[in-house]
Structure 1
Amino acid sequence: AVEKTCDSKIITVDFTVYNSNSTNELPAGTPIAIYANDEFIEFSETILPIEIDGSWSSQITITLPEDIPDTFTLQFVVDDSGQGIGHVAELIETNNSFSVEMTLIKTPTFNALEPITSCNEGFTSGTFDFSNYQELVKSIPSGAVHFYETFENATDNVNPILTPSNYSANATPKEIFIRIENENCFSITSFLLLTKNCPPTVYNYISANDDTINDVFTIEGLRNIFLEFKIEIYNRWGRLLWTGNQNTEDWNGYVKDGISIKKATDGTYFYLIFLNDIDYPQPLTGFLYINH
């Protein structure tokens, strides 16, 4: 087994020396040479004699030279002090080495991510799909990626976001944190969720007959989004019949005629919707149809 730490040339190796197919015990002090890409880097030796068909296990911490690449061949050679020369007489001299391909682990690098903008659903809330960021954030194909609502959760790897394709933010801007893992190493980055005031949808038909269907002038995506909006309704001769804002109910087709209130007659009316938003300097205009 090999223990590696992030961004380090230091490794700890558990190893076992076997004295198999032998006629004598392997003496204590038998040298063990350690190579990386055929370069001698470390020396060890057996502490105890190893009986016939016995074994001896130990651990060594190795500091690799800086010129050793991140991927290399690690080799242990028993009965070798680093010159490739054995000192113990053996029946078989070709079974003294073991090698394994090693790759050091690095803190994952990542790509910067742009903010994601969705329509304001009310008081800067919004619904977002950032599932594709799971791949876009990675600078290399491998590595696990998870999303979190706080830096602390990302660090501790707890409470991941389970629905990145349909995530609801109660308020924006909101920062989402990403943990990118590579074995025991991880990096954390983040991106922002933003909302914008998208154009409202006007349903320009009222059947003011109290059947709960199209009974009021409905504008989707207006309330709690354009907080300073104002609506004006005019008849065909340009007379102002009704005004509304955030604090009034939707128009139900009734108008005030002096002291009394009565239903507006069937016909075509004209509306002005002032959004009072920097992105919408001109009012929305159009025709509204009433049919009782």
Structure 2
Amino acid sequence: IQLTSEQDFVMISTILTKLNNQLPDATISIDNVALECNSRRIMVDYTVYNLDSTNPLMAEVPIAIYADGNLIEQTLTVPPIPIGGSYSDTIFLTIPDEIPNDFTLKFVVDDTGNGTGIVTELDETNNEFSVSISMLVSPEFNLLDKILACNEGLKKGTFDFSHYEEIVKVDPDHVVHFFNSREEAQANQNPIPNTNHYVASSTPKEIFVRIEDENCYSITSFLLDTKNCPPTVYNAVTANDDGWNDFFFIRGLRDIFVNFKLSIYNRWGTLVWTGNNNTENWYGQATKGIQIGGNNLPDGTYYYVLDLNDPDYKTPLTGYVYLTR
């Protein structure tokens, strides 16, 4: 271009100014951030705008995403954005472990990942948007010990773990529920209502605990188990078929000490009856000695030797039983 007069200079300046003003102006906003409990994966809704512009914004403009200044992801706009228009999208991000739980999330439009862009804009200083993020972290909790109850037969037991609701808490404002499975605890479905009288039909049984704060939850567990408690001997037998004390009853014996052996002797030390977990109770009849054959034994005092065959009870239990009809 050859300029021959001052008027030619003014004309060329006007043309260049006009051309320079035919430009887009890309801006961006973070519209929503969805967090998951105890997860580094987040979902972000965002919008790219071309509002204060005099030209459409081209397609496939790069977007760089930073966490505390560290580039963690890149994406692109899809369609061209007209003057005054916008483009919204959603992206899933995995926040690296080295990023702290509290950080600044920044989206920059027209950024190839190193701070440079590919679009000439009316304003090159309004391309970023930042929000503060606090990840949802599981609340802390106290570990819970195993609970033991007496074996009620075939490893069945009745338990009270209602006090664990307070013991497991680190913060008194936490909310605690108990569940029969990890899946129910995670879904927060079917909590156990009777924690002060919980019957486990078989043990060991794992109970799962969900501890909640206002944003997140943790899951822990503890075990219920049974032990063979000492049996209780009722040493009076009235074998008269009236439904009361008709046989030699020992509470906490059958289906608990499954290998027990019970022997009954008369006052002279003669063995008159033996039984185990597979035989009937003693109804005051003789199956051993001189009165064998199911004969009724006479009233009187008899003596028992109960061998539990259990490692916790190595010495047989002995005592007397009084038989009357």
TM-score above 0.5: yes
Partner in structure 2 of residue 276 of structure 1: 309
Partner in structure 1 of residue 15 of structure 2: none
Partner in structure 2 of residue 109 of structure 1: 140
Partner in structure 2 of residue 243 of structure 1: 274
Q: Is there any run of 5+ residues in structure 1 with no aligned partner, and where?
A: 13-27, 29-47, 49-64, 70-102
SS at 1:261 equivalent: coil
Partner in structure 1 of residue 197 of structure 2: 166
Shift of 1:262: 2.1
Partner in structure 2 of residue 288 of structure 1: 321
Q: 1:3 to 1:180 in 2, by over 3 A?
A: farther
Determine which structure has the larger helix proportion and give its number. 2
TM (normalized to structure 1)? 0.66
Determine which structure has the larger strand proportion and give its number. 1
Aligned alpha-carbon RMSD (Å): 3.2
Choose the corresponding residue for 2:212, options 152, 172, 181: 181
Q: Whole-Å Cα distance in 1 between the matches of residues 145 and 194 of structure 2?
A: 19
For 1:201, the aligned partner's letter is T
SS at 1:138 equivalent: coil
- Look at both structures and tell me which one has the larger radius of gyration over its CA atoms: 2
Do structure 1's residue 262 and structure 2's residue 262 form an aligned pair?
A: no
Aligned-residue identity in percent: 53
Shift of 1:129: 0.5
Q: Whole-Å Cα distance in 1 between the matches of residues 190 and 138 of structure 2?
A: 22
Shift of 1:261: 2.9
Q: Whole-Å Cα distance in 1 between the matches of residues 211 and 241 of structure 2?
A: 57
- Confirm or deny: 8 A CA contact 2:272 2:291 kept in the other structure: no
Partner in structure 2 of residue 77 of structure 1: none
- Confirm or deny: 8 A CA contact 1:105 1:182 kept in the other structure: no
Q: Deviations over 1:190-220 (max 9, x none)?
A: 0000100000000000111111111100000
Do structure 1's residue 232 and structure 2's residue 263 form an aligned pair?
A: yes
Shift of 1:138: 0.8
Q: Whole-Å Cα distance in 2 between the matches of residues 169 and 203 of structure 1?
A: 27
Q: Deviations over 1:214-251 (max 9, x none)?
A: 11000000000000000000011100000000111110
How many residues of Structure 1 are paired with residues of Structure 2 in the alignment?
Answer: 216
Partner in structure 2 of residue 153 of structure 1: 184
Partner in structure 1 of residue 283 of structure 2: 252
Residues 208-227 of structure 1 mapped to structure 2, 5 A cutoff: 208-227=239-258
Q: 1:242 to 1:8 in 2, by over 3 A?
A: closer
